[in-house]
Chains A and B, each alone.
Chain A
Amino acid sequence: ETGVTQTPRHLVMGMTNKKSLKCEQHLGHNAMYWYKQSAKKPLELMFVYSLEERVENNSVPSRFSPECPNSSHLFLHLHTLQPEDSALYLCASSQFPWGGSTGELFFGEGSRLTVL
C-alpha cells in the first residue's frame, strides 16, 4: 500500500453512537493531521500530531477525540455527534514535524460522515 489511506470511506451514525475514523500513512512521515470540510467551506484544521504528540487542537468540541498510537496511525473517535458534524473528514501527513518545513501535505481520500 502507498500514500495515506482512510477507513471507512462512508459512515452513517446516530447521535448516540460511538464510532471511529482511521487513517494510516505509509510514507514514513512525522506529522499527521485531521481536517474537516463542510459544504462550501474551506478545509478546517482540527488536530495536528507531530512526532506522536498533539501539537494543535483547533478549538474542536470534546465529542471529537483524536488518538495517535504511533507515527503511522491516526484515529478520530466520535461520540454523541450532532447533525451539523456531518462533513468530509480528511487525514493528511507531512514529512517533517509541525513547523519544521514548508513541505506539502499528503491527503487521504476522506471519510464522508453523516450524522442522523
Chain B
Amino acid sequence: ILNVEQSPQSLHVQEGDSTNFTCSFPSSNFYALHWYRWETAKSPEALFVMTLNGDEKKKGRISATLNTKEGYSYLYIKGSQPEDSATYLCAFHNQGGKLIFGQGTELSVKP
C-alpha cells in the first residue's frame, strides 16, 4: 500500500507569517514528487516537480525541498498573503507510473 501523508491537515496564519508543511512518501521506488496548489472553485495547478534527492525549487515566495532517502518534502511560503490561501497537494510518482496524492494541507491566510 502506497501512503502519502501531508501535515498539518489545515493551517491558519496571519498575513506576513511564514509557514511550511510536510509531505511524507515511500522512500523506495521513487520517481518524482509533485506539488500542486488548488484554490477553491478552480483547478489544481502544478507548483513543482522534483526528481533529485536534495533538490530545492523556488517560485516567488514559495519554495520546496526534497529528501528521497528519508521520504519527505517540505513546502515553504515566505510572508504569506491572502491570495496564498488554497489547498496544497503533494503527489508521489512511483517508477510504475502511478501518481499517488496526499490529502492536502488547507492554508488560510487572514489579512
**A-side interface residues toward B, CB under 8 Å?**
3-4, 40-43, 45, 56, 90, 98-99, 102-110
**B-side interface residues toward A, CB under 8 Å?**
4, 31-32, 34, 36, 41-46, 49, 51, 89, 91, 93, 96-104
Instruction: Judge whether A99 and B96 touch: CB under 8 Å.
Output: yes
Instruction: Judge whether A108 and B43 touch: CB under 8 Å.
Output: yes
Q: Residue of A at shortest CB range from B46? A: A104
Contacts A104-B46, A107-B43, A109-B42 known; A43 to B97 CB distance under 8 Å?
Answer: no
Contacts of B36 in A (CB 8 A): 104-105, 107
Instruction: Judge whether A4 and B51 touch: CB under 8 Å.
Output: no
Q: Residue of A at shortest CB range from B98? A: A45
CB<8 Å pairs between A and B, sample of 30 = A3-B43, A40-B103, A42-B4, A42-B100, A42-B101, A42-B102, A43-B89, A45-B98, A45-B100, A56-B98, A90-B44, A98-B97, A99-B96, A99-B97, A102-B49, A102-B51, A102-B93, A104-B34, A104-B49, A105-B34, A105-B36, A105-B46, A105-B99, A106-B43, A107-B36, A107-B43, A107-B45, A108-B43, A109-B42, A109-B43
**CA–CA, A88 to B42, complex, Å?**
12
Contacts A4-B43, A104-B34, A110-B43 known; A41 to B103 CB distance under 8 Å?
Answer: yes
Q: Residue of B at shortest CB range from A55? A: B97
Given contacts A98-B97, A103-B49, A105-B44, 7 further A-B contacts (CB under 8 A): A3-B43, A43-B91, A43-B101, A105-B34, A105-B46, A109-B41, A110-B43
**CA–CA, A104 to B45, complex, Å?**
9
**CA–CA, A87 to B41, complex, Å?**
14
Q: Residue of A at shortest CB range from B50? A: A102
Contacts of B99 in A (CB 8 A): 45, 105
**CA–CA, A76 to B64, complex, Å?**
35
Q: Residue of B at shortest CB range from A102? A: B32
**CA–CA, A42 to B96, complex, Å?**
19
Nearest CB of A to B63, in Å? 17
